[in-house]
Amino acid sequence: MTTMFTEPEERIALREAVRELASSYGREYIEAKSRAGEKTTELWRDMGRHGYLGVSIPEEYGGGGGGIADLSAVLEEAAAAGAPLLLMVVSPAIVGTIIARCGTEEQKRQWLPGIADGSITAAFAITEPDAGSNAHQITTTARRDGDRWLLTGRKTYISGVDEAGTVLVVARTEDARTGRLKPALFLVPTDAPGLEYQHIPMDIVSPEKQFSLFLDDVSLPAEALVGHEDAGLGQLFAGLNPERIMGAAFSIGIARYALDKAVGYARTRKVWKDVIGTHQAVAHPLAKIKIELEQARLLTQKAAALYDAGDDLAAGEYANMAKYAAGELACNATDVAVHTHGGNGLASEYGLGTLLLAARLGRIAPVSREMILNFVSMHTLGLPKSY
């Protein structure tokens, strides 16, 4: 009998297929590309050719017709195989979902097939230097210029701009200066005149780079606007809830990879009369990570199920909680894995040291754990707003 805790057979098969493909690349491929300053384009295109990037995009636009639950399963399995794809959080999950839910028919036909097969990569720009976690303070503005729009502002920590053909920019219309956020979303070609981007050096070893964006009267046609300029937060959170769910899947996959490596080492590493896994000081931290892993996965699956069912309000609550749990899990799992390996945990041969920083990102982005705790305090527990 199928229960709410059992995934459909199709998704189980999808997980197995993605795991097989991602494992054929593996952590060694990601590390080599990252350290050489190269991109993982082969893996991205391969995932696209097999239909894995587009599983949540409607079939009439070249996708698989599934939901965020399917897409998050793809990302989780790729990360668990040692080959996480950060831009899956952005291109199909945020931009693809927003276009599918809010875009015009012309926009859907122009962008979704390429996003689905991986031939088009889209970036997403909301964060600003002087706004940080307070998205209500964004100052990037869009003003009308006849039948066109002019965008001016600055964005920061925007992933993968150098790999993207377009950036979905969150701006605010000029008359929305009352302190209440009324976002307007624009598709901006990365080669548009007036748009410049600058690489932000990071200590994270990753093929995906971070950038600052500078928009100086970037002129866009009317059809660059996605959705309605006065639609408010609804169309923005059509993409931000999937972002949180996918962020959770990314962290869960990293945690699974780290736990698998640690358990394998504990089963074979022999220092005294038996393998180190016989010692509770080694075994118990690993068992605790397994429990935390299952908790985070259940939260993530529930968040995705609620989103796919169209319950955006409940999905927002659980997407935040899932992202929090998974971010904590990934940090704990990588720390325990490194400690299980001892000195070998930081040796390049074992592929764990670079995961420490990558896992830490899950506590910060796409929303900090403190802002999630604020959200749960206010919206779930009904406590007064603290900021």
Residue 362 has pLDDT above 50, yes or no: yes
The dihedral region occupied by 158, where left means phi > 0, alpha psi between -120 and 50, and beta the remainder, is beta
Q: Which two tokens stand for residue 70?
A: 């399917």
Report how far residue 119's alpha carbon sits from residue 129's, in angstroms, rounded to the nearest whole number.
31
> How buried is residue 192: exposed, middle or buried, by Cβ count under 10 Å (0-12/13-18/19+)?
middle
Out of 52-66, 93-107, 173-187, 349-363, least confident range:
173-187
* Kind of pairing between the strands at 183-189 and 225-226: antiparallel
CA dist 168 and 92 (Å) reads: 12
Q: Write down the pTM of the prediction.
A: 0.95
Joined tokens for residue 22 = 């991602």
8 Å CB contact between 194 and 219? yes
In this prediction, what percent of the chain has a pLDDT beyond 90? 89
Query: Residue holding tokens 């605010």?
Result: 172
The beta-carbon contacts of 35-41 under 8 Å, at least 24 apart in sequence, are 35/205, 38/207, 39/163, 39/207, 40/83, 40/85, 40/207, 41/163
pLDDT, one tens digit per residue, over 56-74 is: 999 999 999 999 999 999 9
Question: Taking a C-beta distance cutoff of 8 angstroms, is the pair 152, 159 a contact?
Answer: no
Mean pLDDT over residues 15-34, rounded?
A: 97
Strand partners, 143: 150
**What domains can you pick out in the chain, each with its CATH number?**
9-120 (1.10.540.10), 124-226 (2.40.110.10), 233-380 (1.20.140.10)
At residue 74, the 3 state secondary structure works out as helix
Q: What's the angle, vertex CA 90, arms to CA 84 and CA 93, rounded to 5? A: 95
* Average pLDDT value for residue range 289-303: 98
Pairing verdict, β 166-173 and 141-145: parallel
**Higher pLDDT among residues 138 and 30, named by residue:** 30
For the segment 225-259, what is each residue's pLDDT rounded down to a tens digit?
Answer: 998 887 767 788 888 999 999 999 999 999 999 99
Q: What is the pLDDT of residue 3?
A: 52
Give mean pLDDT, residues 85-112.
Answer: 97
pLDDT at 228: 83
Phi, psi of 167 (to 5 degrees): -125, 125
- Residue 1's pLDDT is 38
Specify the pLDDT at position 178: 57
Token pair in block for residue 311: 């319950």
Of all residues in the chain, the percent with pLDDT exceeding 70 is 96
Apex 356 CA angle, 354 and 359, nearest 5: 110
